[in-house]
Structure 1
């Protein structure tokens, strides 16, 4: 099955290689079916099957919930254990490590559950520290952002299921280009702000900052469509079960990004009192 997602295509190739490690049980790939000559292991052309179970939507749901649970525990631990005097330093460190792990996972040719779990732990610490800082400044803002985040997620899930929004090849390519551009802008802004103390106006509550956050929120919301499409294609391609961790990782990344952008946007309208 063809897919417009280059990462998924690589995973599909890896899954195809894995199929060469096992044999098909009766009833699969035509073996053992009426009217089809039966073959036996070792014979030329004998069909092969995955060495492990294939990925399902239920697998992705379970892994996503598990990662969110790990992320939540890590966030709570960071909130409680990291002293206020070290929040900023730990915040920056967790952000850098999280970006590095995220890039490794995204461009890896294999599914690595250990790396995905490590990302959830590190990103949880980052989210917890950011949330604590915002909650200290604006009481109740974290709950508002969490509710809004999952509200958007479920709306996008319903729109995708109803086929109101479809992940066409043009949509996928456009989204990848836009997300890459936004990531580059945010990375440059981060470096300028942290290491050179330069304010670009993208994160200071100005009209420009509000507009930029709105763009990020729209793109983060639409990124769920890519994740849903990735899950569907992965199931159809028969990827091994462990690749459900990679699919769950994509959903968690979008949720975290959307949450942080909503948190920031809400803070712009809280006022100084």
Structure 2
């Protein structure tokens, strides 16, 4: 019996039960993950090195945001288009990440390279914990992580809405207080646990010999989680640095 995959991009693969053609492999998925990461890096460089003229930068950021939303939806409903639309997503998302990195760098010197290093460590640690089965991914684990992950996004949305009426909640959540740091640490831990689920999703797809036509979707889903982890590491480090400067 096949394991259900709870990451939206991976769950669609499980539901379709397509095992025709050459089966997916770890090596091929890893190459595609690297490809998407390189495209994300290209997007970052496009912002950092001012590829877009300064007078058009705000329009470019808005456009990049729109592209990420549209392409992520297309990738979900049409996995066959992931090689193209996943690539567009990564470039646009990289552009946004480049802007975010520059903003944080202005206020917290050295935070970006530290965040990159921490993200790399998180990836390796969670891979080790999964490979050694210190963390075992079962249906209950998947359900809990999936529920908490969705709940966190809903809560972040509610906090954002509340910012239009009062700053009390946003200051508490986004600030550098002990509670704010704990919230960011919890969000990072949750993203890291989701990474373990992604590892297992890929392992299940390879084990069950799903078609290699889905390797792009597998790689794309994993890269999305890695980008999220980097952003949450960046936020956590900025709060810690800000707390140290008080």
Name the TM-score, length of structure 1 as normaliser: 0.77
Listed as ranges, the matches of 1:214-225 within 5 Å are: 214-225=185-196
The structure in which a higher percent of residues are helix is 2
Contact (CA 8 Å) 1:192, 1:198: kept in 2 or not?
yes
Q: What's the secondary structure of 1:269's corresponding residue?
A: helix
Match of 1:248 in 2: 219
Listed as ranges, the matches of 1:89-108 within 5 Å are: 90-91=60-61, 94-106=64-76, 108=77
Deviation of 1:185 after TM superposition, in Å, equals 2.0
1:11 pairs with one of 5, 13, 25:
13
1:146 lines up with 2:116 in the alignment: yes
1:123 lines up with 2:123 in the alignment: no
More displaced stretch, 83-92 vs 160-169: 83-92
1:77 lines up with 2:79 in the alignment: no
Deviations 1:26-74 (A, max 9, x none): xxxxxxxxxxxxxxxxxxxxxxxx2x42211111110111100000011
Contact (CA 8 Å) 1:76, 1:128: kept in 2 or not?
yes
Match of 1:68 in 2: 37
Alignment size in residue pairs: 237
Contact (CA 8 Å) 1:64, 1:248: kept in 2 or not?
yes
Greater relative CO, 1 or 2 (CA 8 Å, sep 6+):
2
Change in CA separation of 1:170 and 1:130 when aligned onto 2, cut-off 3 Å: same
Q: Which runs of 5+ in 1 are unaligned?
A: 20-49
Deviation of 1:13 after TM superposition, in Å, equals 4.8
Match of 1:46 in 2: none
Contact (CA 8 Å) 1:4, 1:172: kept in 2 or not?
no
Contact (CA 8 Å) 1:91, 1:130: kept in 2 or not?
no
Match of 1:158 in 2: 128
Change in CA separation of 1:204 and 1:77 when aligned onto 2, cut-off 3 Å: same
Change in CA separation of 1:209 and 1:89 when aligned onto 2, cut-off 3 Å: farther
Match of 1:132 in 2: 102
1:233 lines up with 2:233 in the alignment: no
RMSD: 2.5
Distance 1:214 1:89 in 2: 33
Q: Which runs of 5+ in 2 are unaligned?
A: none
1:53 lines up with 2:53 in the alignment: no
1:179 lines up with 2:149 in the alignment: yes
Deviations 1:150-189 (A, max 9, x none): 1011010011000000110000011111111111222343
User: Which structure's CA Rg is the greater one?
Assistant: 1
